[in-house]
Structure 1
């Protein structure tokens, strides 16, 4: 067995295929080509004298030998990376980090966070995906994201989460509609997979608009535009509508039940061992919304 021919990039390739499930995804994560990934796997399997992956549909699954190699060597790899990062200037860190965020979290905390991150880690590339929190949780658990900013409770046995604050929700409408709310005013909310939907439904049930239709939209900014035009009322995060209220385009809706705050969390996989991802997660956990 030619152990002396096994390079660190062989193990790194193994870990990312195991985490992401396909050679193509590992190639994208490691900024190389799929043929290069395939060649690395063939080299590693040749050196070890055993198969490490088997194809299952479109994905690659670890063989028993592959699972054992990942389990035994990944902690060593993580410690080695940690040593290298500790010896090097943090600003020289390199890699591609995939960050997911809900639209509200993205609007409130991402611009400043990303600006500071790209300034301090100029060689790190970010891939940002905006989606509903429920989808982001699945992306993170499956390895398709490295870190997420989510609204509401981010609960999953495979994830580690930390709170980063909360925002107020306010009932708003156009000034004309706020002055004279019809009995069945259209109400706007994010989709029923969003924590905002549950909050809106519970508050409506205790209001004079309990029989009003609830319209769904997957984009907060679009809902704000609709309500500004007199298309109904909505419960919006205060930081996203401050300018509209100050300018008079939106007005508070009177006699509506108060709304609870929406909490925000940042999360990584509980088993995350990449020092760069953990360093960015530690930085994100210091945010206060």
Structure 2
């Protein structure tokens, strides 16, 4: 029994598939399967039931899993205590929302490439709900998602601010968001699984507005385009809305109360103690800036 065999078993057991586990360990699927087979041979017991489409743990595998996790964590602690810091290398697949992608993601990638030249970065852009699922099933190493820290694996990162806005031709002389405006025009916004849902729901409740006509789209760029076209009323990041208002193509609408700031966090799996995670969190803390101007606007 070796640490590499236990590592192969552990990630295969906790990722959505052997293919994802192999990518996490920078192995081919056949090499991963070979390590697991060698471990099973040494124990004299099957650890996975491979009769179904997705391999499932046998009773022996269920019993071994927490022990393998503990051994791997002890090994990582030992390495950190007595060895020189390892160079961060390999592949890092991580998720961000579109706002991060269009603001400070380039700074993060540039900083990581400079600090860890042997690390290959593969950003993935989606809404928060999907990013959470991909982190938990092992497809992503970490994700930057909306929300407050609720566990050691969800770490505070920053906050984004938004403001209501609409095309001047749509709202006439109105300078304030109101129930009347939202009753007459669609509310253009991201889908329910997006992090902005929480600040929108809180604002509607505080404003006493029970319903609105939602027109949802999973792209901030598309939301901005729909607002510019006068399709409806919505909110955008403050820096975006300010730039467009200065051009006269959108009008910022005052609101009382204002939309709350939306906190963001760096999220990874509870059991992922690799140096990569701390390294990327440190870089994210140094580069995060949701108020950056968008070069595409």
| Partner deviation per Cα, 1:117-172 (whole Å, 9 max, x = no partner) | 122112122232222212222222333322111113465x7x72122222221111
Selected match of 1:171 from 149, 164, 169: 164
* Aligned-CA RMSD value: 3.0
For 1:79-228, list aligned pairs within 5 A: 79-81=74-76, 84=79, 87-88=83-84, 90=86, 92-153=87-148, 160-180=153-173, 183=181, 184-204=184-204, 213-228=213-228
| Partner deviation per Cα, 1:41-61 (whole Å, 9 max, x = no partner) | 222212222212123733222
Structure 2 runs not aligned, ≥5 long:
175-179, 290-297
In structure 2, how many angstroms separate the alpha carbons of the residues matched to 1:198 and 1:22?
Answer: 32
The 10-residue stretch of structure 1 (138-147 or 70-79) with the greater mean CA deviation from structure 2: 70-79
Selected match of 1:28 from 23, 26, 50: 23
Contact residue 21 and residue 61 of structure 1 kept, 8 A = no
| Partner deviation per Cα, 1:4-61 (whole Å, 9 max, x = no partner) | xx44432221121012142222223233322222222222212222212123733222
Contact residue 167 and residue 239 of structure 1 kept, 8 A = no
In structure 2, how many angstroms separate the alpha carbons of the residues matched to 1:251 and 1:56?
Answer: 61
Contact residue 105 and residue 264 of structure 1 kept, 8 A = no
Contact residue 78 and residue 274 of structure 1 kept, 8 A = no
Instruction: Find the residue that maps to 2:153 and give its secondary structure.
Output: strand
In structure 2, how many angstroms separate the alpha carbons of the residues matched to 1:265 and 1:274?
Answer: 18
In structure 1, how many angstroms separate the alpha carbons of the residues matched to 2:209 and 2:47?
Answer: 60
The 10-residue stretch of structure 1 (216-225 or 181-190) with the greater mean CA deviation from structure 2: 181-190
How many pairs align?
281
Q: Determine whether 1:54 maps to 2:49.
A: yes
- The structure-2 alpha-carbon separation of the partners of 1:198 and 1:82, relative to structure 1 and needing over 3 Å to count, comes to closer
Q: CA deviation at 1:205?
A: 6.3
The 10-residue stretch of structure 1 (252-261 or 116-125) with the greater mean CA deviation from structure 2: 252-261
Q: Determine whether 1:246 maps to 2:246.
A: yes
Contact residue 175 and residue 250 of structure 1 kept, 8 A = yes
Q: CA deviation at 1:280?
A: 2.1
Q: CA deviation at 1:288?
A: 5.1
Q: CA deviation at 1:100?
A: 1.6
Contact residue 169 and residue 261 of structure 1 kept, 8 A = yes
Contact residue 133 and residue 194 of structure 1 kept, 8 A = yes
Contact residue 108 and residue 240 of structure 1 kept, 8 A = no
- Relative to the length of structure 1, the TM-score reads 0.82
2:269 alignment counterpart: 269
The 10-residue stretch of structure 1 (266-275 or 70-79) with the greater mean CA deviation from structure 2: 70-79
- The structure-2 alpha-carbon separation of the partners of 1:278 and 1:53, relative to structure 1 and needing over 3 Å to count, comes to farther
The 10-residue stretch of structure 1 (248-257 or 12-21) with the greater mean CA deviation from structure 2: 248-257
- The structure-2 alpha-carbon separation of the partners of 1:80 and 1:239, relative to structure 1 and needing over 3 Å to count, comes to farther
Structure 1 runs not aligned, ≥5 long:
1-5
- Relative to the length of structure 2, the TM-score reads 0.80
Contact residue 165 and residue 241 of structure 2 kept, 8 A = no
| Partner deviation per Cα, 1:157-200 (whole Å, 9 max, x = no partner) | 7x721222222211112233344458412321111222423433
